[in-house]
Amino acid sequence: MSNVLIVIPAGSEPQQAMRTAVDLAKQRAGALVALVVLDADVPRRVASRLTEVGFMAERIGQEVSDTLLHEYRERAELLLRGLAEQAMKEGVVVTPLIEQGDTGDICGRVIRTYQIGTAVLVAEKRSWLTRFLSHSAAVQLPALAGCDVRVMEED
């Protein structure tokens, strides 16, 4: 299995990790699968927390939640398109995936489906505001069984 998976957190642009993933796929003469997992609960939690602390009225919470999820999807599409274009220039085929649900379940399925040999996980440095508004969407290690895992911290 020479294919490489990069799991990119929604709303981030991990340039160093993407560069590493492209290089690994190129070295292994494999394809790169770029995955962004959208957690529909994150926008709801953000809206709920902002309502709880009195930052906004409860009636607009659903609109905020829907807007955040839409923005995450659009940013992910743009990011993956740019990654695919850059990788193509270097002879690496990229399969862009945007999925919604449990990160561990999705990663496990993608690893099996695309015969992933190496997974690059992006660990974000989180600000106090990010920690306040949401909790980590951690990938459980059993979902990554059977492949080499590299964790890269990005700002």
Q: Is the residue at 33 inside a domain?
A: yes
Judged by average pLDDT, the poorest of 41-50, 67-76, 104-113 is: 41-50
Give me the mean pLDDT over the 93-113 stretch.
91
Q: How far is the C-alpha of 23 from the C-alpha of 29, rounded, in Å?
A: 10
Summarize pLDDT for 50-62 with one digit per residue, the tens: 666 565 555 566 6
Q: Is the residue at 50 inside a domain?
A: no
Q: How far is the C-alpha of 112 from the C-alpha of 153, rounded, in Å?
A: 25
Dmax (CA) of the chain = 53
Q: Is the residue at 149 inside a domain?
A: yes
Higher pLDDT, 60 or 68: 68
Q: How far is the C-alpha of 75 from the C-alpha of 6, rounded, in Å?
A: 16
Q: How far is the C-alpha of 138 from the C-alpha of 31, rounded, in Å?
A: 25
Please report where in the chains the tokens 């695309």 appear, as a residue.
114
Which residues form the domain of 12? 3-41+72-154
Query: Any bridge partners for residue 154, and if so which?
Result: 124
Number of domains, the chain: 1
Q: Is the residue at 118 inside a domain?
A: yes
Checking DSSP bridges between strand 32-38 and strand 3-9, what pairing results, if any?
parallel
pLDDT band at 43 (very low <50, low <70, confident <90, very high): low
At residue 126, φ and ψ (nearest 5 deg) are -110, 135
> pTM for the complete prediction?
0.77
CATH of the domain at 86: 3.40.50.620
pLDDT of residue 30: 95
pLDDT of residue 41: 66
Q: Is the residue at 63 inside a domain?
A: no
Q: Is the residue at 130 inside a domain?
A: yes
Tokens representing 1?
A: 């299995």
